[in-house]
Amino acid sequence: MKAAILKNQQLIETRPLQLGEFPKPKPQPDEVLIRVSACGVCRTDLHIIEGDLPVTHFPLVPGHQIVGKIVESGSSCVRFKIGDRIGIPWLRKVCGTCPYCVNGRENLCDSSQYTGYHANGGYAEFATVPEDFAYPIPENLTDEQAAPLLCAGIIGYRAFKKSSSHLGGKLGIFGFGSSAHIIIQIALHKEREVFVISRGEKHRKLAEELGARWVGRSAELLPVKLDSAIVFAPAGEVVPAALKSVDKGGTVVLAGIHLTDIPALSYEEHLFHEKKLVSVESNTRQDGNELFQEAAGIKLIPYTTSFPLSEANEALIKLKQDEITGTAVLKIQ
Ligand SMILES: [Zn+2]
Ligand SMILES: [Zn+2]
């Protein structure tokens, strides 16, 4: 099969993904094999490719927001049938027995595995997933629209839950890329007032279009104190500003898997008055199921820009340069 293959970690500008032939994966007994239709491009792919996250095996096929139809099932699979349209997400496997797994916190499992990282992903014509970790895709979404929900959507949704934002609450969003443009749609549907801080003019325009109450370049310009904030930007220097922007008792959620160092904080200015700073690690399947329920019930439409598989490097370069509005999606077939 054709795949975009990573042989070693390098800056994306050197175009490290090589389009070539790669062995078609065989599903294990508990796995299904899909013919990939679309695969969303995630900032985590960039972190994996560029070496911000350690990789244990090469060659690696990245990609963990994968949509396609099942073409083969492992011998013990019972959940889906051939031809079903499913999504393959970031969270691929957990042990099921550790204290985190048995207490409903499988996102913290010590032995968790991730698609496009521990196992090959969806920058390819075929991909596998343990059937228990796949999601059926709601009919109201195209393959291309569904792909960004599989990581950007699910992780953003977990971040939204962690923000403890309440009905009518003022929610700040710092950084307005793939995840943020999905979560604003859910937050508005749930009657939050959303304030967006982004340096990118294109991103601010999209935030306005989607219905943000206020959009600006800098948190210092915010017209009100926020009840909570989610930081999607991978930049640690945003964190003090986000903490200052929330009111007493407010929560700031860090949604990224990788963040540059956070500058020194002042206790009085940034944390006192019972402010909370919370990170998000991956997600549980419960988060994913809830997100897809939301997506089936409301008109949740991710904005996508598609690229052919042969332009995976270009899609990632554009993502790095902040030139993608919404989510970049590789159209495989
Ligand atoms: Zn576990
Ligand atoms: Zn991701």
Query: pLDDT tens digit string along 136-155?
Result: 999 999 999 999 999 999 99
81 & 95 share domain: yes
pLDDT at 310: 98
203 & 252 share domain: yes
Distance, CA 120 to ligand 2 centroid (Å)?
A: 14
Enclosing H/E stretch for 144: helix 143-146
DSSP 264: P
> Quick one: which ligand is closest to 109's CA?
1
320 & 233 share domain: no
DSSP 271: I
Cα(133)–Cα(243) distance, integer angstroms: 35
Residue 187: give the domain boundaries.
154-279
pLDDT at 257: 87
pLDDT at 299: 81
129 & 12 share domain: yes
* φ, ψ for residue 132, nearest 5 deg: -65, -15
Distance, CA 104 to ligand 1 centroid (Å)?
A: 10
Low-confidence stretches of the chain (pLDDT < 70) are none
Burial of residue 103 (number of CB atoms within 10 Å: 0-12, 13-18, 19+): exposed
Partners of 174 in beta bridges: 197, 231
pLDDT at 333: 86
The answer to whether residues 160 and 35 touch, using CB atoms and an 8 Å cutoff, is no
80 & 198 share domain: no
Distance, CA 311 to ligand 1 centroid (Å)?
A: 37
253 & 317 share domain: no
32 & 168 share domain: no
> SS3 letters for 49-104?
HHCCCCCCCCCECCCCCEEEEEEEECCCCCCCCCCCEEEECCEEECCCCCHHHHCC
The answer to whether residues 206 and 184 touch, using CB atoms and an 8 Å cutoff, is no
37 & 183 share domain: no
104 & 204 share domain: no
pTM: 0.95
Distance, CA 29 to ligand 2 centroid (Å)?
A: 26
Cα(88)–Cα(76) distance, integer angstroms: 18
189 & 268 share domain: yes
User: The domain spanning residue 125 has which CATH number?
Assistant: 3.90.180.10
Cα–Cα distances (Å) from 296 to 139, 142, 292, in that order, read: 8, 12, 6
DSSP 26: P
> Quick one: which ligand is closest to 101's CA?
1
User: The domain spanning residue 269 has which CATH number?
Assistant: 3.40.50.720
184 & 99 share domain: no
Work out how many domains the chain is built from and give that number.
Answer: 2
